Amino acid sequence: MNQTSITLVGNAVTDVTVGATPNGIEYSTFRLATTTRRFDRGVGQWIDGDTSYVRITCWRKLARHVAESITKGDPVIVAGALKVREWANEDRRGISVEVDATSVGHDLARGVSAFTRAAKREHSSELESQEVDFVHAESNDGREVA
């Protein structure tokens, strides 16, 4: 199976919401805004380009750690698998851009952060495909859902 890996740098524009699948697998979500920038030599300064908004989904221990570490407004770096999905409801159709995160951290180019190692906990991963389908099925109607 092919997947498109991506790394995004931006700001958390929502607080992290947490939940669990019907099978008890923890997840968390937040929205990330990322803005392209370029240096304009004529003006001698950086110019902001377009801003993209991406829904970030985290699973299991990453979900817990993100919920305890990231708040609205934080500068973050996210790595994961890109998902572009079409959705439709009675009124509208659209496209959502989402990332199933494998890593999330504060952007240390923009500030300092303190790291605390988490205690180890064992998790089963046999229901991974079911949990991803559950969260994405809830988000395909164009509404932000935890």
Predicted confidence (pLDDT) per residue in 81-139, tens digit? 999 999 899 999 999 999 999 999 999 888 888 888 877 765 545 445 555 555 555 55
Q: What is the structure's pLDDT at 122? A: 53
> Looking at residue 139, what is its pLDDT?
54
The answer for 45, left when phi > 0, alpha when psi is -120 to 50, beta otherwise, is beta
Is the pLDDT reported for residue 44 higher than 60?
yes
53 is written with which tokens? 């908004």
In order of start, what are the domains of the chain with their CATH numbers? 4-139 (2.40.50.140)
More confident residue, 36 or 137: 36
| pLDDT digit string, tens, across residues 51-71 | 999 999 999 999 999 999 999
Question: Looking at residue 115, what is its pLDDT?
Answer: 80
Q: What's the confidence (pLDDT) of residue 118?
A: 77
The stretch 40-59 carries a mean pLDDT of 93
Among residues 5, 110, 102, 9, the alpha carbon closest in space to that of 52 is found at: 9
Interval 6-33: pLDDT, tens: 999 999 999 999 999 999 999 999 999 9
The per-residue DSSP string of 28-89 comes to EEEEEEEEEEEEETTTTEEEEEEEEEEEEEEEHHHHHHHHHH--TT-EEEEEEEEEEEEEE-
